[in-house]
Amino acid sequence: MSATALKTERIDIRTTTAAKDILQRAAAVAQKNVSEFLLDAGLVAASNTLADRRVFALDDAQWRAFQEALDRPVQHKPRLAKLLSERSVLE
C-alpha cells in the first residue's frame, strides 16, 4: 500500500475497555497511534490469510505428483454423480 495514497475510507469498530487498553499500550510501544497499529496489523493478517488461498509451495517430488494427478484421465464416479444429482440438504 502506498504511503502517499489518499485515505478516503473509514473503518469503525466497537471493543471492550480491556481490549482498547491493550491496543493502546501495544501501539505506544510500537510508537504508533492506535489507528496505525490496527491498520498495519490488520494488513499483515489479511495478506497472510489471502496468501494461503493463492500460493502454495511444493518441492520437486510434490510438484511432479501434483502434475501427474492433474494429467490423469477423468474417472467416472457413480456415487459422486448420484450425490451431485440429488437435491442438497441446504436447498
Domain total in the chain: 1
Residue with cell 490469510: 49
Q: Evaluate whether residue 11 is within a structural domain.
A: no
Give the Cα separation of 45 and 85 in Å (integer).
39
What secondary structure letter does DSSP report for 31? T
Kindly state whether residue 49 falls inside one of the protein's structural domains.
yes
pLDDT value of residue 2 = 61
pLDDT for 60 equals: 96
Answer yes or no: is 75 within a domain: yes
pTM value is: 0.55
What integer pLDDT is reported at residue 26 of this predicted model? 97
Domain that holds residue 41: 17-85
pLDDT at 53: 80
Identify the pLDDT of residue 57: 86
User: What is the number of other CB atoms lying within 10 angstroms of the CB of residue 20?
Assistant: 13
What gap in Å lies between CA 64 and CA 35, rounded to an integer? 46
Which ranges of the chain have pLDDT less than 50?
none
Q: What is the pLDDT of residue 5?
A: 83
